[in-house]
């Protein structure tokens, strides 16, 4: 999977979890929680959807790697690339 495909799959998951959020202006370098209204449960839903849809396990110790879109894609490239 390319970086852009991985970015899009993350956006698709977020869109399912937070359908009212405008994801068109996401700044990949800024924390996702600062840009869109994600709470802790939403974040856990993203992690669960990554596991369910793409068989990607994200251990709790790695949750910080999913802070920004850029860091999320960086984290997922070796797992999905």
The confidence score (pLDDT) of residue 57 equals 95
Total structural domains in the chain? 1
**DSSP string for residues in 15-79:** HHH-TTS--TT--TTSBHHHHS---HHHHHHHHHHHHHHH-----GGGGGGGSBHHHHHHHHHHH
The confidence score (pLDDT) of residue 37 equals 82
Residue ranges, the chain, pLDDT below 70: none
Q: Say which DSSP state 1 is in.
A: -
CATH number of the domain encompassing residue 21? 1.10.1200.10
Judge if pTM exceeds 0.85. Answer: yes
The confidence score (pLDDT) of residue 38 equals 86
The confidence score (pLDDT) of residue 81 equals 77
Domain that holds residue 44: 3-80
């Amino acid at each position: 999977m390319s970086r852009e495909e991985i970015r899009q799959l993350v956006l698709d998951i977020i869109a399912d979890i937070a359908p009212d959020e405008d994801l068109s202006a996401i700044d990949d370098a800024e924390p996702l929680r600062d840009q869109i209204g994600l709470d802790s449960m939403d974040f856990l839903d993203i992690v669960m959807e990554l596991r369910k849809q793409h068989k990607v396990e994200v251990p709790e110790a790695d949750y910080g790697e999913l802070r920004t879109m850029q860091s999320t894609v960086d984290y997922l490239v070796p797992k999905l690339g």
